[in-house]
């Protein structure tokens, strides 16, 4: 009886890990499809300016691995907030023409958003200075 129970627990645990693995793979797929990798790559693009040209390929390889690690950790976060069905629904959207358009605009939106953020931040400086002066 103990052996049967132990076997059942081992099979159940393996099934749970397989489900979590599929769930995590889908979350990473969602992160890719939604343009989040593109946005991160855009953010880190400026780092290359400080790297000698002959080291760009090696740098890119390490940066890609670091981004993969970041996306894996973000997938763990998403898995605490969304169900596997939620992620599957989001993937379906990002595989539609409209979803693909959202993804294709990630870089443009990042650039334009950065300009808006800088302008907004400058406006905040004026407000802060107004209240910081005694």
Residue 7 placed within a domain: no
How many domains, in total, are found in the chain? Answer: 1
Residue 63 placed within a domain: yes
Q: How far is CA 3 from CA 9, 10, 12, 14, in A?
A: 10, 10, 14, 16
Q: What does the longest C-alpha to C-alpha distance in the chain come to? A: 78
Residue 3 placed within a domain: no
pTM above 0.85, yes or no: no
CA angle centred on 63, ends 58 and 69, rounded to 5°: 135
Residue 120 placed within a domain: yes
Give 45-98 pLDDT, tens digit per residue.
Answer: 888 888 899 998 999 999 999 999 999 999 999 999 999 999 999 999 999 999
**62: containing domain:** 20-132
Give 4-23 pLDDT, tens digit per residue.
Answer: 555 555 544 444 444 589 99
Residue 116 placed within a domain: yes
Residue 125 placed within a domain: yes
Cβ neighbourhood burial of 86 (10 Å; 0-12, 13-18, 19+): middle
Residue 1 placed within a domain: no
Residue 113 placed within a domain: yes
Q: How far apart are CA 21 and CA 94, in angstroms?
A: 21
């Amino acid at each position: 009886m103990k052996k049967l129970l132990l076997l059942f627990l081992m099979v159940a645990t393996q099934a749970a890990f397989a489900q979590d693995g599929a769930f995590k793979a889908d979350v990473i797929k969602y992160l890719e499809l939604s343009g989040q990798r593109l946005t991160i790559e855009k953010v880190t693009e400026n780092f290359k300016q400080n790297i000698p040209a002959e080291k760009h390929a090696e740098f890119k390889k390490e940066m890609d691995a670091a981004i993969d690690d970041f996306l894996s950790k973000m997938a763990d976060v998403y898995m605490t907030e969304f169900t596997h069905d939620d992620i599957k629904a989001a993937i379906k959207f990002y595989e539609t023409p409209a979803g693909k358009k959202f993804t294709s605009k990630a870089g443009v939106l990042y650039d334009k958003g950065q300009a808006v953020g800088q302008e907004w931040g400058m406006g905040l400086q004026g407000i802060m200075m107004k209240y910081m002066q005694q």
